[in-house]
Structure formats: structure tokens, C-alpha cells
A and B are shown apart, each in its own frame.
Chain A
Amino acid sequence: EAQVTQNPRYLITVTGKKLTVTCSQNMNHEYMSWYRQDPGLGLRQIYYSMNVEVTDKGDVPEGYKVSRKEKRNFPLILESPSPNQTSLYFCASSGQGATYEQYFGPGTRLTVT
């Protein structure tokens, strides 16, 4: 089954404790992206990657890191999480080309206390 998977689905952590949210896709997609979704603000892009070893900042990259060492994986790293990073996070992937459908993962609900 074609899908985007994220782990963990739920995470409660404390300020300053480094964490990684994994994202993996099995559709051989070149493009992958991370978003956060907050009430009243909608989805906002954090980082995206056009291909292996190619990443770029989205609208809200501060406090986040990403890497793209393999085509299928695109982990999101929070080196020192803060309470304002409490949010619902989505990973997405698509093929190249502007009209390729974008597939979203199931989401990771992160709470930073």
C-alpha cells in the first residue's frame, strides 16, 4: 500500500530534550516536506526536500532541522524543543512536477512542557 508513515504518532516531552520525528514513504517520491498545523493558523511549511541531499527552508524553519540521506526518509529534528513547538506535525511526499498529488502522513501530535 502506498503510504507516508510517521513515528511517533504522539509525543510528550520536556523543554530542551532533543527529539526526532521520523517520516518514511514507499512511493519513490523525490519531493518530501514537513508542516506544522496550529489552530487558527492552518498548515505552515517547515522544510522541504526536492531530492536526496537537497533541502530548503519553508515558512517557519526556526528551531527545526532536517536531513535527506535516503530518498524514502526525511526525519524532522528538534535539537532543543520549546513549548511554542507544541503542534500537530505532518510529513508529505510527492513526485516531481507541479501537478503531482501530495500525500500526507497521519500526523504527529507533539506536546512540549
Chain B
Amino acid sequence: KNQVEQSPQSLIILEGKNCTLQCNYTVSPFSNLRWYKQDTGRGPVSLTIMTFSENTKSNGRYTATLDADTKQSSLHITASQLSDSASYICVVSAGGNQAGTALIFGKGTTLSVSS
């Protein structure tokens, strides 16, 4: 069964600190892996998209890594800010090159950054 598991479920850190969120997946065939940021009550916003051949991708203070062999991904946030408080969702796309089919969503990690 295709699954995406995220850990931790929630995390509280102090402003300015770094943190790493984890995503493990059992999705086959693998097409790509995405990380989204979702502010409370708003739609998710894409942070990174990585294909099988990419093992790291950055977007400002966000850096995602992908290990296709172990089927693990991480999202590292550097020098956290209060505005980083949000839910972070890992999404794995199964299948071929068609957009959007068989998107497997993780349940998200809720990050709270405090001052």
C-alpha cells in the first residue's frame, strides 16, 4: 500500500534555531516528492519538488533532501522565523509523467516557532 509517513507530528522550536522534518514513503513507482508549507486556514504552497535523480533542493532557508534508496526525505529549516510556524506536508507522486495522478499525502508536521 502506498504510504507517506511524517515525523515528528508536531515540533516547537525557538526563533533562530534550525530544525529537520522527516518523511518516509513506500510509494511505487516513484515519480517525484514535494514539500508544501500550509499556514493555518490557507492553501498549501509548494516549497520544493524533487525527482528520482535529485538528492537536494533549496528554496531560501528551506533545504530538502531525498534518498531514493532508503525512500526517505527531510526538510531542513535554517535560522527559523516566527513566520515559519505552519504545517509542512510531504507529498509523493506515483506513476508516470502525468500531472497530479496518484498523489500520496503525508499528514504533515506542525511546526511552532516561539520567540
Chain A interfacial positions (CB closer than 8 Å to B): 4, 30-31, 33, 40-45, 48, 50, 88, 90, 92, 94-107
Contact = CB atoms under 8 A, between A and B. Distances in A.
User: Which 7 A-B residue pairs are closest in the complex by CB-CB distance?
Assistant: A104-B43, A42-B107, A31-B99, A43-B105, A98-B97, A98-B31, A101-B46
Contacts of A94: 99-100
The residue in A31, A41, A99, A103 that gathers the most chain B C-beta atoms within 10 A of its C-beta is: A99
B75 to A, nearest CB: 16
Contact of B44 (A95, A100, A104): A104
A44 B105 CA distance: 7
A41 B100 CA distance: 19
Contacts, number: 66
Q: Is the interface of B mostly helix, strand, loop or mixed?
A: loop
Contacts of A40: 107
Contacts of B32: 98-99
Contacts of B49: 99, 101
Contacts of B112: none
B45 interface: yes
The residue in A4, A45, A94, A102 that gathers the most chain B C-beta atoms within 10 A of its C-beta is: A102
Contacts of B46: 101-103
10 contacts: A41-B107, A42-B106, A42-B107, A43-B44, A50-B99, A88-B41, A97-B97, A101-B46, A104-B44, A107-B43
